[in-house]
Structure 1
Amino acid sequence: MKRYILRRSLQSLATICLVIFVVFMMLRMMPTSGYFTREDYLNMTEEMRMVYLKNLGVLDPPLTQFKNFVVKLAQGDLGRSITVYPKLSITTILKEKVGYSAAFGFASMVLSIGIGMPMGMLMARYKDKLPDHLGTGYAVIVRAIPSLIYLFLFQVWVSKIFGLPMLFYKDRPESWILPAISLSISSIAWYAIWLRRFMVDEENREYIKFAKVKGFSKKYIMRKHVLRNALVPIAIGIPSDFLLIISGSLIIENLYSIPGMGGLLINSIKQMDNNLVQILVLIYASLSVIGVFLGDLLVVLVDPRIRLSESEG
């Protein structure tokens, strides 16, 4: 186990370094106009622009630029935004936005797992009966209808019925309810339909039939065998989902006017804010790689029979 963790940690670190190196080098192929705000670019002469770029270090060889970036990163200096939030520290930007996205993401995960998994278990237990039909219908509707449509209808109708604010207000806790629920609608369907599928697959296996022949109760078989094995493929993705909650949701945060992380990467790419892009890519790549790694470890906790290396098998 220790050797596996060490090996995977080194592999994860190498993957993160490779991703950020490739992205960093690709960004250096972009036009240098992305290092100026529109006003600065128009007000500067060509000589002034070259001096400005030289002071930024953009005219240095790419490998030298990357070395300087890594050194500053190790010192905790994430740099400053160029065009999206001109001259504002990226650390300050992230501090302001991550909290909102993380709070809504965490609430969404609690709702998704707390509702989706029991729904999936209920659907599997009453397969081809009313609970299964209702749950499947919900999942089909969520998948078939474009998310923007049902999210907008949910926002309008529920806010009218229960008198809840349609937009997010920092000082009004009741305005947090609709965004948190909206963010979990799709995930609830995902957890429910996949857990139902895995549980139904497990029920059809030979060892389950043998357990029934031996006289074990259906409740015992579902809890000790079917659910336990069905949770393994679900558990793999939970750490990644949990870590990536800070990434926010472009649709939800725009729909409810939440000042979170959603859309920040897209805006930084559109406005060619190279400093902000490379930091966001580094964060998302790190979270994704770490999430996959933690997913492997969580699987062992869910089912101790699984071994992560051949020497432990």
Structure 2
Amino acid sequence: MLAYIGKRLMQSVITLLVIITIVFLLLRLLPEEGYLGAAAEKMTPEQQEVYLTNLGLRDPILVQLGNFYSNLAQGDLGKSITYRTDVPVVEIIADKILYSLFFGLGAVVLALLIGVPLGILMAQMKGRWLDRLGTGYIVFVVAVPAMVYYLLIQVYVTDFFRLPMLFDEDRPISWILPLISLALGPIASYAMWMRRYMVDELNKDYIQLARAKGVRERTLMFRHVMRNAFIPMAQYLPATILFTITGSIYIESLYSIPGMGGLLVDAIQRQDNAVVQGLVLIFSSLGIIGLFLGDIVMSLVDPRIKLGRGESVR
């Protein structure tokens, strides 16, 4: 187990370094005018050259990359260039991260409370009206681009229920639609996989044998079917939580939520490479951590899984 954790940690670090390096190099291919912002028109070519030199953009690309990683090792993500000039990136992100955590974790809790029970009921009522209704919902969410039903919710639901169209920190009622919108995808995912795993369990021989022996249906469902069906679900929970936190870019922009998603959009538009690099580092780290924790959680939920041992390796 410890050997497996060490191996996965090393793989995760290498993957993160590759992602950050690629993003760093791609950002350096963008036009240099973006670093100057609105001040470009007021600067002479000589002043522009001095400014870019002071930013280190005239150094060889490998030197720039080395300086970036050297600063990163000290916890320094650099300073904003155009978004909030000369303000440390860490400070900018710190002001935004709590909003993304609140809506991301809130959406996951809502999805678990609705999606898992929905999947259980769909499996129990397979082929009946609830199963068909739930399947229709899952197909709709998977088939229709998220931005389409996000817009429909914002335009029509706000008017019908008289809810605020934009986020207001001082009005909790304005938090409802962003949370629901962000939870729609995870609800469909949890319901779909929970139904699938439960149906698979219900068709196994040990379930038929237990029924033949007269085991009560409620006992069979809760002690065996649901427990075994939830084991593979556990692998995806950490990743889903972290992906939901980082996947709210469109929701935050749509509802004017001052979180990391909206910050990333603004930073890209303003070509603030330091902020973009810092956000990519956070988003990538969260995603990799989620995948790593998934295997660990699954092995804890089911002791039969021995990570890193011969044929039991997952």
TM-score, length-normalised on structure 1? 0.90
Q: Does 1:5 align with 2:17?
A: no
1:125-136 correspondence runs (5 A): 125-136=124-135
Q: Give the CA deviation at 1:149.
A: 3.8
State the secondary structure of the residue aligned to 1:262.
helix
Matching of residues 99-118 of structure 1 within 5 Å = 99-118=98-117
Which residue number in structure 2 is paired with residue 276 of structure 1? 275
Deviations, residues 109-128 of structure 1 (Å, cap 9, x unaligned): 00001110001001101111
For 2:94, the equivalent position in structure 1 comes to: 95
Q: In the alignment, which residue of structure 1 is the partner of 2:290?
A: 291
For 1:254, the equivalent position in structure 2 comes to 253
Cα 1:300–1:192 shift into 2, 3 Å? same
Instruction: Confirm or deny: 8 A CA contact 1:246 1:261 kept in the other structure.
Output: no
In structure 2, the CA distance between the partners of 1:101 and 1:64, relative to structure 1 (3 Å rule), is same
Tell me how far apart the structure 2 counterparts of residues 113 and 4 of structure 1 sit (CA, whole Å). Answer: 29
Match of 2:34 in 1: 34
Q: Which residue of 1 aligns with 2:14?
A: 14
Residue pair 2:256, 2:262 contacting (<8 A) in 1 also? no
1:98 and 1:246 in contact (8 A); partners too: no
**Deviation, structure 1 residue 169:** 0.8
Partner of 2:170: 171
**Structure-1 separation of matches of 2:209 and 2:225:** 13
Letter in 1 for 2:104: G
Task: Write out aligned runs for 1:63-212 (5 A).
Answer: 63-212=62-211
In 2, distance between residues paired with 1:185 and 1:224?
A: 29
Amino acid at match of 2:168: Y
Greater mean alpha carbon deviation, residues 276-285 or residues 105-114: 276-285
Q: What TM-score comes out, normalization by structure 2 length?
A: 0.90
The aligned residue for residue 61 of structure 1 is 60
The unaligned stretches of length 5 or more in structure 2 are none
Tell me the secondary structure at the aligned position of residue 260 of structure 2.
coil
Tell me the amino acid that sits aligned with residue 96 of structure 1.
D
CA contact (8 A) 2:186 2:240 kept: no
Asked whether the 8 Å contact 1:27–1:274 carries over to 2, the reply is yes
Equivalent in the alignment of 1:23: 23
The separation in 1 between residues aligned to 2:163 and 2:22, in whole angstroms, is 46
- The secondary structure found in structure 1 opposite 2:29 is coil
Q: Distance in 1 between matches of 2:282 and 2:127?
A: 44
RMSD: 2.2
Count of paired positions: 312
The 1-side partners of 2:219 and 2:87 are apart by 58
Structure 2 distance, partners of 1:210, 1:228, is 17
Q: For structure 1, which runs of at least 5 residues remain unmatched after alignment? A: none
Give distance in 2, aligned partners of 1:280 and 1:247: 10
**Alignment partners' CA distance in 2, 1:183 and 1:3:** 37
Q: What letter is aligned with 1:69?
A: F
1:292-311 aligned within 5 A: 292-310=291-309
Larger mean Cα displacement after TM superposition, 61-70 or 246-255 = 246-255
CA distance in structure 1 between the partners assigned to 2:276 and 2:153 by the alignment: 33
CA contact (8 A) 2:104 2:245 kept: yes
**What is the deviation of 1:291?**
0.9
Matched residue type, 1:103: F
Give the Å deviation of 1:160.
4.3
SS of the residue 2:257 aligns to: coil
Deviations 1:7-61 (A, max 9, x none): 2112211211222122222323333223211x22222222222211221112112
Distance in 1 between the 2:44 and 2:159 partners?
A: 56
1:191 is displaced (CA, Å) by: 1.0
